[in-house]
Amino acid sequence: MTVQSRELVAETPYIWRARQPESSHRLICFPHAGAGATAYADWVRLLPPDMELVAVQLPGRQNRIAEEPFTEVGPLVNVLTHALRPVLGGSFSFFGHSAGASLAYEVTKALRAQGRPGPARLFLSAQPAPDATGIRRLHELPEEEFHAEVLGLGGIDPEIAEDEYVMDSLLSVLRADFTLWERHRTTPDSPLDCPITALAGEADPRAPKDAVEAWRRFTNAEFDAHYYPGGHFYFLDAGAEMVSLIARQSAAAAANGRIV
């Protein structure tokens, strides 16, 4: 039997995948503001061998740095529901962190509207529910204040933070992403039918517990919430523990048989 390499590699502009042909479930991950698909590269070794990892790559970052980021959520979601078709067969779950959680939720809604199967479970990390209020808006802040706020959230390597040229490029993408999601208002709709798991850091100012728990209203199915030590980028330290939870809950929701 051929041993498959468990490495996250680009397959299409929007899809990076660590192929596991014998897998029974696929975890599709949506990155946070400013981040690319490789934000989930370490998860490949943390997932069980019967689960395949896919990470979404958006324009304006990493190997797509020369492309303009999307400025409206609707066109982005429309593009993704088409671009992700190769990995939406069989049993799959969605995971999104921060802005990626909002994107995972909107793609799930779009799949339902198109009459297509959605995720077996939706994992939403460090993101308040769409109707939450009181979260500070960052996209209109002056440059220096925006820079300070972004650094204060964490998640940026010190080497990158000290490189003025790289930071200028990153801040441009970050502001575009914050603008995209802070201006967006989700269309009122009936609750989803898939279970939702909300995850957050215990000290995250952008995802207070009441706003995280509010996701309960957005599903008719099971809902649970889990909190970990840390702030907005808690998952950088809680990776193994959190991925283990995701794997267990995904396995419970997965359909039998191989993915296609």
Provide the strand spans (E) within 37-188: 51-56, 92-97, 122-125
91 is catalytic: no
Q: Give the chain's mean pLDDT.
A: 90
Choice among 23, 98, 125, 250 that is catalytic: 98
Would you state the pLDDT for residue 255? Answer: 52
The H or E element spanning position 225 is: strand 223-228
The H or E element spanning position 27 is: strand 25-30
- Residues of the chain below pLDDT 50: 1-4, 256-260
Which domains, from first to last, does the chain contain? 9-253 (3.40.50.1820)
- Count of Cβ atoms closer than 10 Å to residue 43 Cβ: 23
Residue pLDDT, tens place only, 210-230: 999 999 999 999 999 999 999
Q: 0.85 cut: is pTM over it?
A: yes
Would you state the pLDDT for residue 259? Answer: 40
